[in-house]
Structure 1
Amino acid sequence: MTNTTHLSDVRFSDFDLHPALHKAIEKTGFEFCTPIQAESLPITLLAKDVAGQAQTGTGKTAAFMLPIIQHLLNNPLEDRKPDQVRTLIMVPTRELAIQVAKDAEVFTNESGLKVALAYGGAGYDAQKKAIADGADILIGTPGRLIDFFKQKIYTLRRCQGLVLDEADRMFDLGFIKDIRFLLRRLPDPEQRLNMLFSATLSARVLEMAYEHMNNPTKVEIAADTRSADRVEQWVYYPANDEKIPLLVGLIQTLGPKRCIVFVNTKRNAEKIDDFLRGNDIGAVMISGDVRQNKRQRYLEEFEQGKHQVLIATDVAARGLHIDDVTHVFNFDLPQSEEDYVHRIGRTARAGASGESHSFACEDTAFYLPGIEKYIGSKIPMADVTADLLPKLKKPIRVEREKVASHQDKKGGGRKPNGPSKSRGPRRKPSAPK
């Protein structure tokens, strides 16, 4: 578990936490709270609901995990059956689900509470068994959660806690109907502890919060753009057909030990993957269409140094915590200013130095003014010189697998019988002419 955001003056020891939580926190070595933790814990530890605005990487997992564990330990369920989940935590992507579960294991290791995962693309039977054996805390993506719920692997009738993490991202990915399906199976909001966290508390996010929570308190932490100050940033203005040669030229010139290339589309990710392979640069690609077991294997290999480059879309990159990334390349500028800070924050972690090289091309240059306004500074311009545009070898194309279902593409799992898409009543097939 990595905590790279700035800290407050509030200590975890200032709170009246369960002894099991104090022991777990001591093992992490953390002493001071991040701002979102310092603002939300005084509320949630009193079993009151919170709707919090905070960016990825600001310590949100501890902000919701500590009060959830405290609530469960202070309110044991009598005659609980194994299929009765006590807390449901919903997240938008598989990678984030895995990361939250890792952190949850750290905080629950002194409590005796069981944590289980439910996400699409891998481990179907293992996940099913772990939930059936009795999960106190169930973490997952909406599609796979609904799949197991419809099979009656677990029930939410006695659920005591609910967490919605990165709620705005779940809206963006089209999960809202799936989320509402599960929320309507929970006990009344007054009977559970509820927390919602989002990068922005938009009107639609707040509407869901006030509909399905018990009068939540708003906690808003200003976006931390200071991570951008720790990264040496450059922006290039290439033509569209210069982008791949420029990327190859920069990788060859800068010689990054470990770098991430961010793209906006799966098509660009595949194209870059083919060209890097053809030009003798070791790379792996993760996107929504790469099966989960492969994504995990690729990430592990990248962390182990087996590949120099990781190519990723924003959806696939949510929740990534990889050390020693020296360079980030924004092959496409992101539409969201927050995503820009999130991307370049993958480097310069834990006090290390890092570089960001962004391409303001014909298709994405108009996002740059908003990004510069958001981070509060002008990004220095770098020239696209001839020596940075090498003559490329031909790309090496490979046959790529397709994810079996729409739910897998969204991060959910096997496609449930409903209610992911509202298509209206099914029509009977017409008689043959």
Structure 2
Amino acid sequence: MKFTDLNLPELVQRGIADTGFTDCTPIQEKTLPLALSGKDVAGQAQTGTGKTAAFLISLFTRLLKNPTEGETRNPRALILAPTRELVVQIEKDAQALGAHCGFVIQAIYGGVDYMKQRSALKEGADVVVGTPGRLIDYLKQKVYSLKEIEVLVIDEADRMFDMGFIADLRFILRRLPPFDKRQNLMFSATLNQRVMELAYEFMNVPEKVAVTPEQMTAERVEQVLYHVGRKEKFPLLLGLLRKKGMERTMIFVNTKREAEFLDERLNANDFPCRVISGDVEQRKRMRILEDFKNGKLPIMIATDVASRGLHIDGVSHVINYDLPQDAEDYVHRIGRTARAGAEGKAISMADEDGAFHLEAIHEYIKDKIPVEWAEDDLFVHDFKRVKPKPKGHETRAKGPTRHGRKHPEGEKKEGEGEAKKRRRGPRKKPAGEKPKPE
């Protein structure tokens, strides 16, 4: 099916033409006729299948066909997503597809521009894309109202449950107009029981649409698995990175601590890289992503916060330095490469701990990852070593104290002796010593 076969408004068709879309993907072909007819849809599709364009086209079409009388400051459409990166990506796609529709589209997410986003929302927006936390914050301040919402979209619904957003999600949904007075679209990688319970509770008899390919992973991703000891992982990683064609590589690890240690070791061995994890400040995170997209940064280390919602063209390799503990995350990780018809390679390392997760991954993807045995010359042993920081270690900043005076080495801080005495309690009197008169 082509987009021109659908009965879409001319302004929406122009936006689709500008983005270069011509043929519908399977999820778009199944959901668009239902959504355009006004029905609620619960769609199951993997990342990178075009579901974002599907719900945006439906949303813009409905708003254009039902123009409002007079001006309204409150949003008419609400799109909820679990991560900041996904919100930014959806807003970018919405600006492109809706470029000719004349709607004001506003992204709301934590970490940046609190007052700026607040002012923009207060001035008025037709379509709001946001994460639940900050949306609730502004809602409690009565910056905006949800009483005029005509279209609700919940993206990555299963991830909402995984990240503990379900209470916030329900808080927002209970403040919307009745479910039969709005259109509801929900998309998820899996339509499990808890996701469908949410659908039946807050949607109006949703049509269930599932697009599950025979192959869970992207077709053009070449997958390789190395069985390697924990101490041999870094020498193997260096050997892989020294090979040609690794100009834009994403390395996934399971913990923030491992990400920071790997970042120090790679930079010490002349492999420029940066870390993106859940607690990296949003401005810094966006700057790292921009440098990676532009090719200024060849390697990006990430935890699973970056495995969903990132659309970066030209990622040549994905390396699972740690195998994910959740089998579903394996599919989302390797989906960062081979996007938009390109080819890519996913390399996984299974150490003594990671090997325990292989069975679940193979069962989920309904296939086995091809195993290769690394030759001895692929391991690099002459690398610069970096000592890991002790867990919970905090270094005290050197320099002037708040009183403006440096503490000489070995000198006690002012009042330190008295504080220790107070903690120890009063000094015991020697036997036979008479008490001093008051």
State the partner residue of 2:399. none
State the partner residue of 1:38. 29
Contact map agreement 2:81 2:156 (CA 8 A) in 1: yes
Over 3 Å counting, the alpha-carbon distance change for 1:374 and 1:317 in structure 2 is closer
Paired residues in the alignment total 388
State the partner residue of 1:51. 42
Q: Distance in 1 between matches of 2:65 and 2:387?
A: 58
- Give yes or no for the alignment of 1:331 onto 2:321: yes
Give the letter for the 1:256 counterpart. Answer: M
- Give yes or no for the alignment of 1:220 onto 2:236: no
- 3-state SS in 1 of match to 2:336: coil
State the partner residue of 2:233. 243
- Give yes or no for the alignment of 1:73 onto 2:64: yes
CA offsets, 1:188-230, max 9 Å, x none? Answer: 0001010110001111111111111111110111146375442
Q: How many angstroms does 1:343 deviate by?
A: 2.0
Contact map agreement 2:307 2:329 (CA 8 A) in 1: no
Contact map agreement 1:249 1:390 (CA 8 A) in 2: no
- 3-state SS in 2 of match to 1:349: coil
Q: Distance in 2 between matches of 1:381 and 1:218?
A: 37
- Give yes or no for the alignment of 1:26 onto 2:13: no
- Give yes or no for the alignment of 1:200 onto 2:193: no
Q: 1:141 aligns with which of 122, 131, 138?
A: 131
- Give yes or no for the alignment of 1:91 onto 2:81: yes
- Give yes or no for the alignment of 1:13 onto 2:4: yes
Q: Distance in 2 between matches of 1:81 and 1:378?
A: 54
Name the larger-Rg structure: 2
Q: Distance in 2 between matches of 1:186 and 1:88?
A: 10
Q: How many angstroms does 1:157 deviate by?
A: 0.9
Considering Cα pairs closer than 8 Å and 6+ residues apart, tell me whether 1 or 2 has the greater RCO: 1
State the partner residue of 2:393. none
Q: 1:61 aligns with which of 52, 55, 58?
A: 52
TM-score normalized by the length of structure 2 = 0.84
* Unaligned 5+ runs, structure 2: 390-438
Q: How many angstroms does 1:368 deviate by?
A: 1.9
Contact map agreement 2:158 2:189 (CA 8 A) in 1: yes
Contact map agreement 1:157 1:187 (CA 8 A) in 2: yes
Q: 1:132 aligns with which of 122, 129, 138?
A: 122
Q: Distance in 2 between matches of 1:379 and 1:210?
A: 37
RMSD across aligned positions (CA): 1.9
Q: Distance in 2 between matches of 1:110 and 1:228?
A: 33
TM-score normalized by the length of structure 1 = 0.85
Q: 2:274 aligns with which of 280, 284, 288?
A: 284
Counterparts of 1:28-427 in structure 2, within 5 Å, are: 28-82=19-73, 84-223=74-213, 225=215, 228-254=218-244, 256-387=246-377, 388-395=379-386
CA offsets, 1:17-58, max 9 Å, x none? Answer: 112111111212211111111111111111110111111111
State the partner residue of 1:428. none
* Higher mean C-alpha deviation, range 125-134 or range 15-24: 125-134
CA offsets, 1:121-178, max 9 Å, x none? Answer: 1122222222122110000111111111112111001111100000000100000000
Contact map agreement 1:142 1:175 (CA 8 A) in 2: yes
CA offsets, 1:220-279, max 9 Å, x none? Answer: 111463754422221111122222222122212456111010112212211111111111
Q: Distance in 1 between matches of 2:109 and 2:237?
A: 33
* Unaligned 5+ runs, structure 1: 1-9, 399-433
* Higher mean C-alpha deviation, range 236-245 or range 377-386: 377-386
State the partner residue of 1:404. none
Q: How many angstroms does 1:296 deviate by?
A: 0.6
